[in-house]
Amino acid sequence: MDYYVEITVLPDPEFEEQVLLNALFSKFHRGMGQTVPGEVGISFPEVAKRLGSVLRLHGNESSLNQLMAENWLKGMRDYCQVGEVHPVPEVVQYRTVRRVQAKSAWNKRKRSIAKGWLTEAEAPAKIPDSQQKNLKHVPFLQIKSLSNGNPMRIYIEHGALKDDPVAGTFNSYGLSATATIPWF
How far does the chain reach from its first CA to its final CA, in angstroms?
13
Side chain identity at residue 85, one-letter code:
V
Half-sphere exposure of 146 (CA within 13 A, CB side): 8
Closest to 151 (Cα-Cα) out of 16, 23, 1: 23
Question: Minimum mean pLDDT among 88-92, 112-116, 125-129: which range?
Answer: 125-129
The model's confidence at residue 123, banded by pLDDT at 50, 70 and 90, is confident
Q: Is the pLDDT of residue 175 over 80?
A: yes
Q: Which of 106-110, 165-169, 172-176, 179-183 has the lowest mean pLDDT?
A: 106-110
**Looking at 51-55, 83-87, 109-113, 152-156, which range is the least confident one?**
109-113
Q: Is residue 133 over pLDDT 70?
A: no
Domains and CATH numbers, the chain: 3-99+159-183 (3.30.70.2540)
Distance CA 26, CA 79 (A): 14
**How do residues 140-157 score in pLDDT, each as one tens digit?**
999 998 788 889 999 999
Distance, in Å, from the CA atom of 88 to the CA atom of 1, rounded to the nearest integer, reads 8
Is the pLDDT at 132 greater than 70? The verdict is: no
For residue 46, is pLDDT > 90? yes
Over pLDDT 90: what percentage of the chain? 71
Q: Give mean pLDDT, residues 72-96.
A: 96
Helix and strand totals (H; E) in the chain:
4, 9
CA distance 101 to 82: 30
pLDDT score of 164: 96
Residue-level pLDDT at 128: 79
